[in-house]
Amino acid sequence: MADDTLETAVKGARIDLLGLVLKTGSLMVVTFGLYSFWARTRLRRWLWSSVRPGGMPLEYTGQPLEKLIGFFVAAVLLVFYVGLVMMLILFASLNLTGDTTPGFIAALALILPLYFIAQYRGRRYLVNHTSWRGLAFSMEPGAFGYMWRAFLYYGLAIASLGLLLPLATFRLRKFMVDRTWFGDQPFFQSGRFTMLYAAYLPFLVFGLATIGLPAAASFNGTGGNLGWLFITVPGMVFGWIYYRVASFRMLMSETLYSGGTELEIHPRTGKIIKIHLLGNLIIFLILSILVPILVAMLFAIFGALGASLPSQDILTEEFSLGALFNLPEWIILASTILIYFSFFVLRAQFKHVFVTFPMLRHAAETLLVHDASVIAATRRGVDHHMADADGLAGFFDFGGGI
């Protein structure tokens, strides 16, 4: 290992993270989601500080109130956009064609600009609130430029039956990286989109086989045998995962900082799949135990409450269903909503412990920063602070906000 190459360590015990997410998750449930902005901030601070390139931790500087403001801004925008514009489109479609299908398709197409804008702004917020060695990362505005480029490149990918998807991957990644800074020095995405085809080939082959074989069988009138789908569909899924992991590795390895510092990272597809499968299995087992316990506790509590009402005999009806249904309807409805909400909150919180953090640790521990001597000359750069956070990104749930 060269003297000017920095290795990355990951510090932090999963049991500590579990304690954090259980505490913040409980507060989210009792506040009906209001605490989620504080919970997300505390989670990011924990995860950021666990990653330590060269032994020095990253720092997350975002604030909960920024997320709250971003949420309300996004909520107002979406209510206006979805509640007014999309309803007008559906109404016009019904009057002009007698069918809502064209309007529904047009309305869905109009959501895509918001999706791409949210994608860029979400990444920009995270970058702009990350610092290392006392210097801040930053990312220039460019959400609308990213949006129309995404339409262009993904449109080309669709028109080419997927052949040009690596072009979209590379160009959109380059658009983001070339607008990212650390201190007063920029990052630059080098390489060419053609380098991604080696990683893309398995997905392309299995994807074309999944679509092309039934089409050919239908054309020849020999359809009916779909056994090959048990090979092509899993192959396509694995090919897509492999492309996502391998393209990330290639693009990161072609990322330059200040014209000299190079990044190198080696996440493994098999390890990523294992983390997902094992992590989700653990989450399923935990929830299959916790949820029935939660339901039983609520039944016992509300059964006792129902038995205490004047119309019930507390000695004979304390824990019976009759006592339970003696409760006012709003209490039963509220308890049902509480169970439903708790399930999704717990599932999301456990995912951070058993999927997100193991994936972060696996990738970060393979990260190398070559020619790191350039970093010593870096000075403070321009502040690109975002006061309204990443509200739209939260609505589209990009990676759980991580």
229-269 pLDDT per residue, tens: 888 899 999 999 999 999 999 999 999 998 778 899 999 99
- Amino acid occupying residue 273: I
List pLDDT tens digits, range 279-311: 999 999 999 998 888 777 776 666 555 555 555
Who wins on pLDDT, 260 or 155? 155
Confidence of residue 315 (pLDDT cuts 50, 70, 90): very low
For residues 79-103, average pLDDT: 76
Q: How far is Cα 360 from Cα 48, in angstroms, rounded to an integer?
A: 10
Tokens of 109: 């197409």
Three-state DSSP class for residue 7 = strand
Output the average pLDDT for the chain. 84
Averaged pLDDT, 338-343: 84
Quick one: pLDDT at residue 342?
Answer: 87
The residue type at 341: F
Sequence-distant (6+) residues with CB within 8 A of 106 are 89, 93
Euclidean distance between CA atoms 260 and 113, whole angstroms = 36
Domain ranges of the chain: 1-60+266-366
Check residue 170 and give its pLDDT.
Answer: 98
Q: What DSSP state is assigned to residue 182?
A: E
pLDDT exceeds 90 at position 155: yes
Q: What long-range pairs does 264-268 form, CB within 8 A, spacing at least 24?
A: 264/367, 264/368, 264/369, 264/370, 265/363, 265/366, 265/367, 265/368, 266/366, 267/362, 267/363, 267/366, 268/362
Q: Is the pLDDT of residue 191 over 90?
A: yes
Its pTM stands at: 0.85
Q: Which among 272, 266, 279 has a CA at the least distance from the CA of 240?
A: 272
Which pLDDT tens digit goes with each residue over 54-89?
A: 999 999 999 998 888 888 877 777 777 777 777 788
